[in-house]
Structure 1
Amino acid sequence: MPQNSSSRPDPHPDALPPGGPAPRPAPADGPGPSATSTPSAGAGGRPSPRVGWPEIGVGLVVAAALIALLLAATSLIPQDQEILRGLALYAVSALGPLGGFAAAVALRVRDVRAFGLRRVSGRWLLVSVAIGIGVIVLNLLVTAAVVTLFPPPENIQAGYQAAATGGALSFLGALVLGAVLVPIGEELFFRGVLTNGLARYGPWVAVLVSSTVFAVAHGINYVLPVAFVVGVIGALLLRRTGSLWPGVVVHAVNNLSSVIIPAVLAGAV
């Protein structure tokens, strides 16, 4: 009995369909606005959890506890040791957020790429330097306006300025702590944890809420508006590039001016 042609084995099972293989979609130029919101693969190929409220909560508790403990230790430094106290304050500003970030990473996600620790092109880093210079100009304008329009405010930067103007060694310490470690620590926590953790509520909620928390963390004073702008810029750069490093550069350039300008005016360098 003849076989039905539909039941015969295909003599060329590996042959390509007519017209060749289907074209693969072209890769995107880079991570899009929601690049950091996509969970990466974890062990066994399963996607890692997204950054969320557990990371935010644990990070906030650990950062606040570290800052409280370090400030208590700083208070033991004699008042006349202004330079040492200033360097200690820089260390508090860096280590508190760094500890909060480390706790958030260790909780569930454990993949730093989900927090925005990704490579970024040199072009974006150069753009960030230019933006940072613009923030310096804004900072000077805001300070001039506050001094002109209001009674002289309390110099909340006095401790930091003492470290910057205390000689070559303390100036170097202020540069390393204030212009390197503080921007890295604060961007890792406020953008890496907080902005990414709030991304599920939409980009503007994530950007504005995380920037507001960042600004308030600097105190209700004349620094607040510039801190808010730095936060918004860092969060927008994170969404645009998928990386924290452009925001770190903007932050570092602004902080660099806060170390160098007082030192130059005081003739310390």
Structure 2
Amino acid sequence: KGVAGDRLLLFRAEADPTFGGVAPEPSTKNMQTVLQALQSRPEPLKLGVIIDPDADRIRFTDGAMEIDMNMFGAMAYHYLHEKKGKQGLVAKTVATSNFANAIAAELCENTFEPAVGFKNFKPVINQALVLFEESDGISVIGHTPEKDAYIGLLLALDMLLTLRLNLGDYLAEIRRQYGAYYPARGGIAVSQMGDELKATLAGLKKYAAGAKVRVGKNLQTIDEVITIDGRKIIFADGSWLMIRPSGTEPKIRFYVEARTEKGKDDLLDAAKEMLAEIGLAKRNL
């Protein structure tokens, strides 16, 4: 039937090779215009997205909250498995939220968790229902083996029209069943590169399974360590932090995921403290 002109709102849709002077990427900063526009709308169901210029990354909002791919990828997997009756594993990169892992485990399905980079999904392209990474890329079984913003948009629209729920409400429903996960990320610039940086990062090997790490006011026990891409340290409560060198610039990136909103900052501080111990960051005062 089409969409009434006053209900389809386009922002920055004109050709502009300078991108208005901002980084053309899905980000909280770039989401603000869409958020504000939706907040003033009276419709009960709302969907807003921001897509990067080459349309391979997408981020979502329902006007009440921002939903990045850490959450949406897990939602898409739950939707295809539980609402559409599809069977199969889920694929997400190691730096991506473990929310999808928790859902897959409850559904007695497997999780494929490779190093960062969409190309690393190649072994399960025709097996995984959903393939996604925390940097806002997604694809699905039977679709292109590359990340595609528009398949994400179609999935989100199908969720709204089928469930008659906004994305935030659907996310809340899934969290009630499988638990809440709160991811975040950060990074620091470093002067070391190559073998020198690799040798310095080897100092993190002391953080092995069974070791204790101070996170906020508590000592957390390391339950598991994954080393396929940097070092992902998973704690007994399901929270984790991951430290890896950037593949594109002189930076160390760290990713964290807490089981509470406040816990994100504690994990980010713990990651910085680990880097300070091996001489790659300043100590928190």
TM-score (norm: length of structure 1) = 0.28
| Structure (1 or 2) with the larger CA radius of gyration | 1
Q: Which structure dedicates a bigger proportion of its chain to strand?
A: 2
Q: Per residue, is there more helix in 1 or in 2?
A: 1
- The structure showing larger relative contact order (alpha-carbon pairs under 8 Å, at least 6 residues apart) is 1
